[in-house]
C-alpha cells in the first residue's frame, strides 16, 4: 500500500446480516473484513450470501486508488446501497466480486 495508507483483509468469523425495510438482503457467516486507513471497517460478503435477485445495477461507478473501480447496485428506496470490485487491484484481489453494503449488522 501507499505510505501512510494501509489496507488489511482477513477472513471474518462473525455473522453479518443486511436488512432493509424488513427484507434480508444478505446473510453471511464468512465475511471478509477490510480495514482501511481513515475508513470504517467494511464487510465484503461472498455473492452466494447476497440476494442479488433483489439488487439492480445502478450505473454508478467510482474509482479508489487503493482498491480499483467499483460498480454499484440499488434497491427500491435505496440508491447505491451496495458496491463490489469486479477487477480490484492485485494487492486486494481477494475482494473480487464480493459485495459491500453501507449498513451491516453484526449478529
Judging by DSSP bridges, how do beta strands 99-101 and 16-20 pair with one another? unpaired
Judging by DSSP bridges, how do beta strands 42-45 and 99-101 pair with one another? antiparallel
**pTM for this predicted structure:** 0.93
pLDDT tens digits, one per residue of 63-106: 999 999 999 999 988 899 999 999 999 999 999 999 999 888 78
> Which of 18, 79, 8, 5 shows the shortest CA–CA distance to 45?
18
Domain boundaries, given as residue ranges, for the chain: 7-106
Residue with cell 484481489: 93
Distance CA 12, CA 44 (A): 10
Q: What is the homologous superfamily of the domain 7-106 according to CATH?
A: Domain of unknown function (DUF427) (2.170.150.40)
Is residue 3's pLDDT more than 70? Answer: no
66 within 8 A of 51, measured Cβ to Cβ: no
Amino acid at each position: 500500500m501507499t505510505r501512510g495508507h494501509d489496507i488489511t483483509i482477513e477472513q471474518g468469523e462473525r455473522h453479518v446480516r443486511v436488512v432493509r425495510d424488513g427484507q434480508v438482503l444478505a446473510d453471511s457467516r464468512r465475511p471478509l473484513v477490510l480495514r482501511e486507513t481513515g475508513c470504517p471497517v467494511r464487510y465484503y460478503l461472498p455473492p452466494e450470501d447476497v440476494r442479488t435477485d433483489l439488487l439492480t445495477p445502478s450505473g454508478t461507478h467510482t474509482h479508489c486508488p487503493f482498491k480499483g473501480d467499483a460498480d454499484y447496485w440499488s434497491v427500491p428506496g435505496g440508491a447505491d446501497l451496495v458496491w463490489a470490485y469486479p477487477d480490484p487491484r492485485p494487492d486486494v484481489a481477494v475482494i473480487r466480486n464480493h459485495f459491500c453494503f453501507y449498513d451491516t449488522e453484526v449478529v
